[in-house]
Amino acid sequence: MRVPKVLNPLYQKKLLKRFGVYEKVLPVETTPSRFVPQHIVKPDYVSGLSKSIPKRPEIKDEEQINGMRKSCQLAASILNKAHSFIQPGVTTDDVDDLIHNFIINAEAYPSPLHYKGFPKSVCTSVNNVAVHGIPDLRPLQNGDIINVDITVFFEGYHGDCSKTFLVGDVDDKGQELVAVTEECLFEAIKLCGPDVPFCDIGSRIFRHAKRKGLTVLPAFAGHGIGKYFHGPPDIFHILNRYPGLMQPGMTFTIEPVLSHGRENTYILDDGWTIITEDGSRTAQCEHTILITEDGAEILTR
């Protein structure tokens, strides 16, 4: 069978109707990794010191919780400041530069930098890039949606949060995708508390997305967090049977990724960038939360 190089225009129109109006992006050229001054304390995966990731979900004491509060507040305040900088013409590398400097000036370390070889200080995922986009020299365009995922390592603890921002005028479909993704995150946070199964988070998010006609991408999970970037529990965002109950003192992230299309994704040759197979856009948002005696506290608010 002959495979046409150019999509049948009728099919293209159908795709557009289903997924909305936006530019499909692929990585372009980027700049070298940014510099971190000697005096900034680095996480174990950078300093080469031995790692300690707990085997089971950790219950943090008051001192550890205060450490988490501080790192999470820092991550959230930087994400908030980055928002006003996001506009057409700004490159994702500019965003990396800005956020890197905010983090360094706060005497913290940008957790993604050199984590398992990641080359930049923040993840920027535009349109059909689902997660782990590497900041590069592509200028943001009117109509893009961009997830900015910030993790800081501050006084010994990681704080992790992300948000999807609208660049200029985004079509209705894109706006709805972003809004419903946030609804999913907040619906999930509302149900968290002592003795609630971790797996309830996935069913709640899956149900809400389904009701809105959107797909949750199953490949991406939230995670326990503390002195370690990623640890137990795994927080799945779809129907699952992951064992265990939430307990006061646990800290973990919830970070659903939704699309208009199918659930399949693949990873590019750079070893990081993950894009949707069907080219549909995705939105993601993330908070680090603390389980308390009577519910959950959003540490990255």
Q: Residues interacting with ligand MF3, by CB under 6 A?
A: 112, 115-116, 118, 123, 132, 149, 151, 160, 255, 272, 286
Cβ 225 to ligand MF3 shortest distance, Å: 8
Cβ 12 to ligand MF3 shortest distance, Å: 32
Q: Which residues contact 3 (CB under 8 A, 6 or more apart)?
A: none
β-strand partners of 252: 224, 289
Cβ 243 to ligand MF3 shortest distance, Å: 21
User: Which C-beta is closer to ligand MF3: that of 20 or that of 68?
Assistant: 68
β-strand partners of 10: none
Pair 76, 161: CB distance under 8 Å: yes
Task: Output the six-digit token pair for 182.
Answer: 């946030």
Can you tell me whether residue 112 is helix, strand or coil?
A: coil
Pair 286, 253: CB distance under 8 Å: yes
Cβ 262 to ligand MF3 shortest distance, Å: 22
CB-based contacts of 1-9 (< 8 A; 24+ apart in sequence): none
| Residue 153 contact, options ligand MF3, Co ion, none, Cβ 5-8 Å cut-off depending on partner type | none
Helix axes of 172-191 and 199-211: crossing angle, nearest 10 degrees:
150
Distance CA 51, CA 38 (A): 20
| Residue 112 contact, options ligand MF3, Co ion, none, Cβ 5-8 Å cut-off depending on partner type | ligand MF3
| Residue 164 contact, options ligand MF3, Co ion, none, Cβ 5-8 Å cut-off depending on partner type | none
User: Which C-beta is closer to ligand MF3: that of 123 or that of 145?
Assistant: 123
User: Which C-beta is closer to ligand MF3: that of 178 or that of 225?
Assistant: 225
Cβ 132 to ligand MF3 shortest distance, Å: 4
Distance CA 187, CA 192 (A): 9
User: Which C-beta is closer to Co ion: that of 253 or that of 259?
Assistant: 253
Dihedral sign (CA 290, 153, 166, 175)? negative
Question: In one letter, which amino acid is 91?
Answer: T
Cβ 163 to Co ion shortest distance, Å: 10
User: Which C-beta is closer to ligand MF3: that of 67 or that of 133?
Assistant: 133
β-strand partners of 192: none
Distance CA 67, CA 62 (A): 9
* Residues engaged in binding Co ion (CB under 5 A): 149, 160, 162, 253, 286
User: Which C-beta is closer to Co ion: that of 79 or that of 214?
Assistant: 79
